Structure 1
Amino acid sequence: MTDFCHEGWSETEPATEEIQRICDEVKGQVEERTNTKYGIFRALQYRSQVVEGMNYLIKIHAGGFIYLHVMVFEAYGGKLSVIGVEEGHTKEDPLVPF
């Protein structure tokens, strides 16, 4: 079971197949927000928060030294929406809600 910490966010965990599936689904939304096409879009880590649905904060490797932190909201029923993207992260940066 996931442990929850400050402000209801889970601890950082390794990405799962489900988190990668979410990333694959929202890749187009992220590319629109950043005005960039990504060849690689691999989920590395994530945190989650139960709200009226689920928030996910995901660290994504987008090729080379490009790491993104992406906030995704999953509504009841499964609709996924990107609610934030932070560029300019490194592999070592912690996942901090923004």
Structure 2
Amino acid sequence: MNFVEQARISSSNRQKFSHLKLSKSSINAKMMCGGLADVINADDEIQKICDQVKPDAEKKTGKTYNVFTAKNYKSQVVAGTNYFIKVHVGEDDHVHIRVHKSLPYAGSVVKFADIQESKTHADAIEYF
């Protein structure tokens, strides 16, 4: 493909998506494919993901969590999205969970991947 063909395709894509209005305030985090995004405060969508995987987290740790509240998270774009979520589990205790959500064409399936225990509110979320 030559430069003129690339420019034509780029121009047609720009026209196709010109109705989308993005501003700096509408973008919550810096994202790069494969890397972890900045920390974002958890919202209803992230809490819903936590609610879905809570039984898996309890099974893996052998514990029952009366509290399982998402606090904040980082995400990683892969073939879908990995979520690294800090979850309050009661008193001063927190866990970090990793959850994968597949792409829409694959059904947007949420799957528990792993958990780190003995975390505090101050512990940074890191890749695991």
The two structures have a TM-score, normalised by structure 1, of: 0.94
Q: Letter of the aligned partner of 2:72 in structure 1?
A: Q
Q: Letter of the aligned partner of 2:118 in structure 1?
A: G
Q: Give unpaired runs (5+ residues) of structure 1.
A: none
* Structure 1 consecutive aligned stretches of length 4 or more whose deviation exceeds 3 Å: none
- Would you say 1:17 and 2:47 are equivalent positions? no
Identical residues among aligned pairs (%): 35
Q: Whose radius of gyration is greater, 1 or 2?
A: 2
State the 1:19 CA deviation.
Answer: 0.3
Number of aligned residue pairs: give it.
98
Q: Distance in 2 between matches of 1:51 and 1:11?
A: 16
Match of 1:52 in 2: 79
The two structures have a TM-score, normalised by structure 2, of: 0.72
Q: Distance in 2 between matches of 1:34 and 1:73?
A: 19
Q: Letter of the aligned partner of 1:71 in structure 2?
A: R
Residue 69 of structure 1: which of 81, 84, 96 is its match?
Answer: 96
- Would you say 1:92 and 2:122 are equivalent positions? yes
User: Which secondary structure state, in structure 2, belongs to the residue aligned with residue 18 of structure 1?
Assistant: helix
User: Which secondary structure state, in structure 1, belongs to the residue aligned with residue 55 of structure 2?
Assistant: helix
User: Which secondary structure state, in structure 2, belongs to the residue aligned with residue 8 of structure 1?
Assistant: coil
CA RMSD of aligned residues (A): 1.4
Greater strand percent: which structure? 1
Greater helix percent: which structure? 2
Q: Distance in 1 between matches of 2:111 and 2:62?
A: 17
User: Which secondary structure state, in structure 1, belongs to the residue aligned with residue 92 of structure 2?
Assistant: coil
State the 1:78 CA deviation.
Answer: 2.0
State the 1:65 CA deviation.
Answer: 1.8
